[in-house]
Amino acid sequence: MIITIDGPAGSGKSTVARKLAARLGIAYLDTGAMYRAIAHAALERGVDCGDSEALADVARSVDLEVNCGPTHTRVEVDGRDVTEAIRTMAVSVASSAVAGQEGIRNLLVEHQRRLGAKLGSFVTEGRDQGSVVFPSADAKFVLDAAVEKRAERRHREMLADGEDVSFEEVLENLNRRDDVDCKQWVPLLEPEAAILIDTTHMSLKDVVDRLESEIKSICTRGSESG
Ligand code: DC
């Protein structure tokens, strides 16, 4: 079973995808972590994120290992675990530039499909999972929430990770990333095939419950028609 969850930063998709994968006992793939890992490598090598050729070189030359369990996606770059290091604000900003490079997207899309083929059943989250990467997924969701709510959630997560950042900085960063990211993935979504959920006023548990019940009815419909 392939379940895709797409949406903007702070929509709750990472936490929801992790909880859902754990409930279903299948793997969890965080594709944002792959863009972040390339961005982290570029920053470490002192590459200018405005230089698309240099960014593409980084993406082609790194050895990116992605390890998916039901509650985590761990990423290694050239044999070094960077799972925690890719969560900083600097990496968030750089990852937007990385995600804007078509050549890098193509590389990562292929990598995600290879991972998917190995995993079999999984919950994957990102921006283009239901539209580009796994268009024939069994269940597709798009989560969204008001930008202030998303900034509030992201700010809380970053403080918990020990990042010293203000709410205003997070809000500004989200607005900036939305501008860039939206050009990437909004035109790629297939609203008629995906179930859209606004999580602004929903608790985490409500969202996971809702997804689980949608998946159950998709499975029931599938077994009735098959
Ligand atoms: O979801 P996130 O904040 O970890 O994503 C990091 C960056 O990667 C963000 O700029 C959006 C981008 N991204 C993307 O373009 N496509 C994906 N499938 C996943 C993330």
CATH number of the domain enclosing 127: 3.40.50.300
Name the domain count of the chain. 1
In a domain, 52, yes or no: yes
Neighbour count for residue 19 (Cβ, 10 Å): 22
Q: Which domain holds residue 81?
A: 2-198
pLDDT at position 188 is 62
Q: Is residue 130 part of a domain?
A: yes
Q: Is the separation of the CB atoms in 3 and 138 below 8 Å?
A: yes
Nearest to 204 by CA among 142, 141, 153: 153
pLDDT attached to residue 192: 64
> Which atom of ligand 1 is nearest the CA belonging to 184?
15
Rounded to the nearest whole angstrom, what is the distance from the C-alpha of residue 94 to the centroid of ligand 1? 11
Q: Which of 91, 127, 140, 150 to mutate to test the pocket of ligand 1 (most atoms within 8 A of CB)?
A: 127
**Residues 136-181 pLDDT 10s:** 999 999 999 999 999 999 899 889 888 889 999 999 988 888 777 7
> What distance lies between CA 108 and its chain's CA centroid?
12
| Distance from Cα 226 to the centre of ligand 1, integer Å | 36
Residue 139 pairs in a beta bridge with: 3
pLDDT at position 223: 77
Residue 134 Cβ contacting ligand 1 at under 6 Å: no
Residues of the chain where predicted confidence (pLDDT) is lower than 70? 183-192, 226
Does some domain include residue 46?
yes
Q: Global pTM? A: 0.92
b (16+ CB within 10 A) / e for 106-119: ebbbebbeebbeeb
In-domain check, residue 203: no
Cβ–Cβ contacts within 10 Å for residue 89, how many?
15
87 CA from centroid of ligand 1 (Å): 12
4 lines ligand 1 (CB under 6 A): no
